[in-house]
A and B are shown apart, each in its own frame.
Chain A
Amino acid sequence: SVNPDLASERQTASFCVEKLTALLDGGAEQTRMRRAVVEAIQSDPVFSRENQYFQSQNERYEAAVRKAVHLQKKMHEMGWTENGPEYKYIYRALSGDVAFLLHRVFMRSISVLGSDKQIAKWIPLATQLRLIGSYAQTELGHGTYLQGLETTAVFDIATQEFILNTPKISAMKWWPGDMGRSATHTVVFAQLYIHGKCYGIHPFIVQIRSLQDHSLCPGITAGDIGPKMNFEAIDNGYLLLKNVRIPRENMLSKFCEVRPDGTYVRQGSQKINYFTMTTVRISLISDEVLIPLMKACTIAIRYSVVRRQSKLKPGEQEAKILDYQTQQEKLLPQLAAAYAFHFTNDYLQELFGRGYREIQRKNFDMLPELHALSSGFKAVITHHCTAAVEICLRACGGHGYSLLSGLPSLYTKILASCIYEGENTILLLQTARFLMKCFMAASAGQPVPPSVTYLAAVKPGKCPAKNKSDFLSPDIYTEAYQHVAVRLISSTAAKLQDLIQSGAKKYDTWNQCTVQLVQAAKAHCHYIAVKNFAETVEKLETKAGIQRIMKHLCDLFALHGIFSNTGAFLHDGYISAAQMDMVTASYLDLLAVIRKDAIPLVDAFDFTDESLNSALGSYDGQVYQRLYEWAQKSPTNKMSPAYERYLKPLLHNTLSKL
């Protein structure tokens, strides 16, 4: 039965939860399909995650391999294909707990970087899992800065082979998933040398394990890199190469080829490849970032209406902790951010879809803008959502700290997203470089891409708000965000300009302005996120109930951003001190309004109990019973050898010898 404290929250929803779910899924048909996939996966005991909090790294890895193998069978049974519409829901239903994820990256890189002949040779083998692939780019000494990679591939004309080496310890490949124990092949990125000349980083297919007995191939040293904060199921690996020879045909050669005589040939445009890399940053947002945040919000908010603590009014029952303003102020802005970034993601997906179609037509004009948006939003969204999940974790007090709450695992997983696919600070600086260029262009009256046209129309002035309700107007707050973005971008550009004119070296100048540049890039992304949320709300006019609650969330997202960064808005007096008090008042009022719909808003994310895997967050709210039941299953409750070995002698007073 559902805990009455949770049940009562559902009776007062101001909107239809099912309709909001459909909106999030992109249509009722999508919702139906997603539920069917989730049901098929979660009803199959092989995919159970029931005991995962109790398992060792070895057990988790084995389970992931077992699931990956079983998934092949399941997909066949269900008639699902890798290119089918169901595919994206499978990974979600598994909560990522499955091996061979890098196998997909391996296949994709061959498809993108390989010649037709190479595709014809390798893709069928990989599709049938006759080999297991990985993708070895990152090294012990180098990550985001690819030019610094130290692995070498030297072409030997005599044998028509490349000789691969990791010449020093920092060159060792480090981190690639599936490589520690599973992979038989991997795409290795190495500096290509022909006749002693370096041609830069290129991809090579290298076999690392025997297809017969899985033993390591000659010249290969590989293994697991050891325990991490999460991803216990994944065998992130290391790889040492010592004079490993591979045939000339194993260099992926869609764009660059080494001819038998050692001639190096470039062919075609790399820009599509560049676009693909940019797309990866966007593709991770939904599954790796938004879903964990939505789960964390679901768990923390449901728990906060079940947990009662202390009294708000004398003589009454203890209050639900969600009724405390401080608890609302922790959780509800995170919920608003989850929705805001969901719509940002929709916007980016749409934009990239358009970009893709343009690129197909050989029009590469959108590329710089897409690159800047994907870098900036990857950084801003991963950073924001990671912090948000941690807030949810800590908002659940002691019980949030138990693995059984599900929150520690969500947190340790999402925080990796701040690092992989480009370290966030570096990505923000890339966005900033784009913004600086566009600002200069706009100032000179040249055309700029659509997302930055606002830089050309700089309006001086003050925020026109007269009372606190004015701050519930999207025009008012969107303008404010725009103003701050323009101010930070223009002042940073001016400072760069000043330093260069004072005779400083260009690279020095850049480094001296990086802190400001990062702030400018963040302000730009924040502005677009707010603007996009407001525009999305406007388009919901046919769905009155949903539009109303989404408007509240949009207001909250925007005002929370101002409230937590008041200085940026006060700095040049755009918002006055008196107006800032109105912002605060409006913001705090909104918390109480959204509080009423908090449970329906997380219910709309539509997670099954299996996918939440949380003793605190289940739909029925039976928190304490579940916590007690699950704890009893802990392996530590089997008799520990510690008693016989150490406690018994201790308790039986062997200390008396002192």
Chain B
Amino acid sequence: AAAMTMNADLRRERAAATFQPLLLTHILDGGPERTRRRKEIEALVFNDPDFQHEDLNFLSRSQRYEQAVRKSALMVMKLREYGIADPEEILWFKSFVHRGRPEPLDLHLGMFLPTLLTQATPEQQDRFFMPAWNLEIIGTYAQTEMGHGTHLRGLETTATYDPATQEFILNSPTVTSIKWWPGGLGKTSNHAIVLAQLYTQGQCKGLHAFIVPIRQLGTHEPLPGITVGDIGPKFGYDEMDNGYLKMDNFRIPRENMLMKHAQVEPDGTYVKPLSDKLTYGTMVFIRSFIVGDSARSLSRACTIAIRYSAVRHQSELKPGEPEPQILDYQTQQYKLFPLLATAYAFHFVGAYIKDTYQRISGSINEGDLSELPELHALTAGLKAFTSWIANAGIEECRMACGGHGYSRCSGIPDIYVTFTPSCTYEGENTVMMLQTARFLVKSYTQVSSGQQVTGMVSYLNDLSSQRIQPQHVAARTVTVRINDPASLVEAYKARAAWLVEAAAKNLQAELNHRKSKEDAWNRTSVDLVRASEAHCHYVVVKLFAAKLPEVTNAAVRAVLTDLCLLYTLFGISKNTGDFLQAGILTSAQITQVNQHVKELLAVIRPNAVALVDSFDFHDVHLGSVLGRYDGNVYENMFEWAKKSPLNKTEVHESFHKHLKPMQAKL
């Protein structure tokens, strides 16, 4: 198609913005220099003919896998050619090459290599690291089994030490013990780090990691005793060969157990590791990445839905006038703007966790783990909180695009199916919420027994001191000013305190009635999840509000303040019951909140397109016909559809095979 000019609606929207999107982009990237570097890397990838290919929507799964392997191989070479080594820059490069999708080497680069670095002995590093670095060895990380996921202790794969041959014998003793889901396992990898229950001297020593060769170097055929393959089609992740692995009396040398921490000596003597808290570090890192990913995925969906809503015209608002942009309808604004505000909120939360992790990882390396438990509890909850909301938000964005959102050309179905597994992996969300709850209850118990707690839960300290009637669950009185983010943070704090206290008291009541701790915990778990959600919600609101004074440009600060207020007030209007029941807000205030939300929609409306432009997604990266920067939606939908596989021939072969013979018979 000839060069098209920008859609007039979008041009008008951009001209009417009250701030410069680039300045906001700098804030999101962490400074103008980071933005410049990101765009430099973006240009490296998108201008490289090696990384161009047909629209993936028209390829079969096998073809998509093949494209992904091709690009991954090139990617590894080019990263080294360009000398890109900064972890964040590698992530950018990877995301541009694969357009935000997973790829077959993800586990090799993200789990296999790092695990070697942190858990292998120097001897093992010599044997495995350089070959893996040079991709003679491609590895994956095989933890999840068909029958067990988040509950690691339940894993059934066994590694039994045989001192006679100084080997471990690996077995998948049941169907449920077959390793299932690891990325890159099905077809790509020739090695796997396998997590198995270690048996030595007749005793089970719990889960340990073993380096297991699975395919023959040279032929890539599975080794004898190994059954390996792809687990079949999924909702998304078409590029990824998630695999299964079954081991039958498969022997590996003793030296293949990762022995930096725990060891099995030649005679079978087991040597315990010093601390197991170290693994927290990796989990915190990956979960904080998911928080950032929640922000990014929701930002993409918002970009598409808001641009499209500015281009699409429908029905009439004023009799006799042209059809309005659908973004002018209050109901459409009500669907999309709170999500836009959420995307910004989550972005700042993701940045906060990343910074905090980096700040304390220094002390972690020096063995000071004191800050880890809270950060661990916080990231578990925030991972669940943000991924649940982003998951639902992406779907709302798609739904807001009506029928065209349902087409793969909108790009939103792909964002959704790529994102939704993050509610499950790296810890199933409900389980994560309950982990956070455990920390909250523990903190509450500490406060009840007169101890002070610190960090994000310090609001619990206020509970006992201000309590007038200790037998009653009631909120601390707060005077809430609904135009003031700081005052609203206090309201969220009071709600969290109220729900944490209620859950803790319900738990205690169950314990008073029953004997088993587990049973009481289970019977309180719905309350506990609610408490965790309220705690996380408070943290998000607090971090968003804390960001505002840091913004130096007045115009940008103004628009971020609008978004922060919208996020905060919308959250109240969706959870009015909590604020009413706890006595934090009156019904009259709730009515004001609801009204103010609608006023904010109108305030944000002129900046909506500029606010998604600030996310600065390149069209190729966004992969959406509806969300194109130039807004030429309809022409390009037609161009896209013509390439559909069903359109390969003018008359489909089904006509000759089925329709014609039928008509002949009639």
Contact = CB atoms under 8 A, between A and B. Distances in A.
Interface of A: 53-54, 56-58, 61-62, 65-66, 69, 72, 128-130, 132, 138, 140-145, 148, 169-170, 172, 174-175, 180-182, 211, 213-216, 223-229, 235, 238, 307-314, 318, 323-327, 329-330, 390, 394, 397-404, 408, 412, 415-416, 418-420, 423, 425-426, 429, 505, 507-508, 511-515, 518, 565-573, 577, 580, 588, 624-625, 627-628, 630-637, 640-643, 645-653, 655-656, 658
B330 interface: yes
Given A148-B315, A394-B424, A397-B424, A570 B403 contact: no
A169 B634 contact: yes
A525 B420 CA distance: 30
B26 interface: no
B408 A229 contact: yes
7 contacts: A182-B652, A329-B526, A398-B425, A511-B328, A647-B188, A651-B138, A655-B77
Nearest to A512: B330
B186 interface: yes
B581 A54 contact: no
Contacts of B73: 646-647, 649-650
Interface centre among A143, A229, A323 (most CB of B within 10 A): A229
A518 B62 contact: no
A538 B187 CA distance: 59
B185 interface: no
Contacts of B154: 308-310, 318
A128 B234 contact: no
B663 A624 contact: no
B395 interface: yes
Given A419-B406, A577-B582, 12 more contacts: A69-B658, A148-B323, A181-B646, A238-B641, A310-B151, A325-B523, A398-B149, A401-B235, A507-B317, A628-B146, A631-B244, A636-B241
A646 B406 contact: no
Interface string B637-654: 110111111111011111
B577 A570 contact: yes
**Secondary structure type dominating chain B contacts:** helix
B522 A656 contact: no
B204 interface: no
Interface stretch (B53-61, B89-97, B342-350, B359-367): B53-61
B430 interface: yes
A530 to B, nearest CB: 18
Interface in B110-125: none
Contacts of A309: 148-151, 154
Contacts of A314: 518
B658 A62 contact: yes
B488 interface: no
A170 B635 CA distance: 8
A226 B334 CA distance: 31
A390 B416 CA distance: 12
A312 B176 contact: no
Given A57-B646, A61-B652, A570-B577, A130 B666 contact: yes
A47 to B, nearest CB: 14
Interface size class of B (residues with CB under 8 A): 35 or more
A628 B641 contact: no
Contacts of A658: 77, 80-81
A152 B286 CA distance: 56
Nearest to A210: B651
Contact of A580 (B577, B641, B654): B577
B529 interface: yes
A394 B423 contact: yes
B428 interface: yes
A238 to B, nearest CB: 6
Contacts of A312: 518-519, 522
A464 to B, nearest CB: 19
Interface in B532-588: 575-583, 587
Given A515-B331, A628-B146, A326 B407 contact: no
A504 to B, nearest CB: 12
Nearest to B574: A567
A136 to B, nearest CB: 14
Interface string B45-68: 000000000000110111001100
Contacts of A129: 662-663, 666
Contact of A624 (B175, B190, B662): B175
B44 interface: no
Interface string B407-424: 111000100010011011
- Shortest 9 CB-CB distances between A and B: which pairs? A566-B577, A567-B576, A224-B646, A634-B232, A226-B644, A567-B577, A636-B230, A408-B235, A145-B315
Contacts of B178: 624, 628
Interface in B602-657: 634-635, 637-638, 640-648, 650-655, 657
Given A72-B662, A423-B402, A624 B147 contact: yes
